Copies of this chain bind each other. A is one copy, B any other.
């Protein structure tokens, strides 16, 4: 399925230093979840040069195959990392919500990463790779937190692969809803009863490897069975256990483990 797609200029605010950006504290909080950070570590992060940008729905923050020089942290909205075939077919490989780092692995790779697109109006902070790498050199614990963040991202990726490879349309959709419910809850937004999830059926198809039409049919099934009810960018979970059963969902892979290394 070919998603609609624009290359919009990104609206960039003026560069600002870290202290002025409450959004940067999101980054600190996230890293602190993944490993022990000293006050010194945290201050060093806050001192990073960052920029906040806004992206409209359906605009690309990083185009596919474009070399990428920044790390992105979602301050608000919903972003997708995706690959694309020549015929325009896309596959979303990750969804990033508030607090997530988009493509944490990019720091260690020289190769262009995947495209990064805003699926809903979003605000993103942007940190150049170089100062971040320098920071890691001086503060190994920050590196370990970034490593753990990358590993958590990879765990989700593995489960997407299992889902797309092994589940039918209904179970796949259910599994994604289960995962996002937990992740939104962890981000302090929503619960197992419901959450805001501003994604179109078209983009859901790109994530689940289903056509838009089939997403719609499958959604209808889940609705008719009284399991979930979706409208206006919000997911209402009517039967959490039923949803988990359909999905064969086990949330263990999403649990944030306290640091094992530092």
Tell me whether A262 and B137 are in contact in the complex, defined as CB-CB below 8 angstroms, given that A83-B158, A155-B105 are known contacts. Answer: yes
A189 within 8 A of B: no
Set of chain B residues within 8 Å of A109, measured between Cβ atoms: 151-152, 155, 257, 260
Mostly, the A contact residues are helix
Encode A136-164 as 1/0 by CB contact (under 8 A) with B.
11001001101110111111011111101
Set of chain B residues within 8 Å of A151, measured between Cβ atoms: 105, 107-109, 150
Cα distance, A44 to B89, chains bound together (Å): 48
With both beta carbons as reference points, the residue of chain B lying nearest to A114 in the complex is identified as B158
Assess the A166–B248 pair: CB atoms within 8 A: no
Number of copies: 2
Tell me whether A161 and B93 are in contact in the complex, defined as CB-CB below 8 angstroms, given that A105-B155, A143-B143, A262-B137 are known contacts. Answer: yes
Write the nearest CB–CB distance from A181 to chain B, whole angstroms. Answer: 18
- List A residues 86-114 near B (Cβ within 8 Å): 86, 89-91, 93-94, 105, 107-112, 114
Cα distance, A41 to B150, chains bound together (Å): 23
With both beta carbons as reference points, the residue of chain B lying nearest to A111 in the complex is identified as B252
Range of interface residues on A (Cβ < 8 Å)? 35 or more
Set of chain B residues within 8 Å of A260, measured between Cβ atoms: 107-110, 129, 133
Assess the A261–B143 pair: CB atoms within 8 A: yes
A63 within 8 A of B: no
Tell me whether A158 and B157 are in contact in the complex, defined as CB-CB below 8 angstroms, given that A144-B143, A167-B85, A262-B137 are known contacts. Answer: yes
Assess the A136–B144 pair: CB atoms within 8 A: yes
Set of chain B residues within 8 Å of A86, measured between Cβ atoms: 248
A117 within 8 A of B: no
Assess the B261–A137 pair: CB atoms within 8 A: yes
A253 within 8 A of B: yes
Encode A234-262 as 1/0 by CB contact (under 8 A) with B.
00000000000000100011010100111
Set of chain B residues within 8 Å of A165, measured between Cβ atoms: 91, 164, 209
Write the nearest CB–CB distance from A29 to chain B, whole angstroms. Answer: 18
Write the nearest CB–CB distance from A53 to chain B, whole angstroms. Answer: 24
Set of chain B residues within 8 Å of A146, measured between Cβ atoms: 147
- List A residues 61-98 near B (Cβ within 8 Å): 81, 83, 85-86, 89-91, 93-94
Cα distance, A225 to B57, chains bound together (Å): 44
Cα distance, A34 to B109, chains bound together (Å): 10
Tell me whether A162 and B83 are in contact in the complex, defined as CB-CB below 8 angstroms, given that A108-B261, A109-B151 are known contacts. Answer: yes
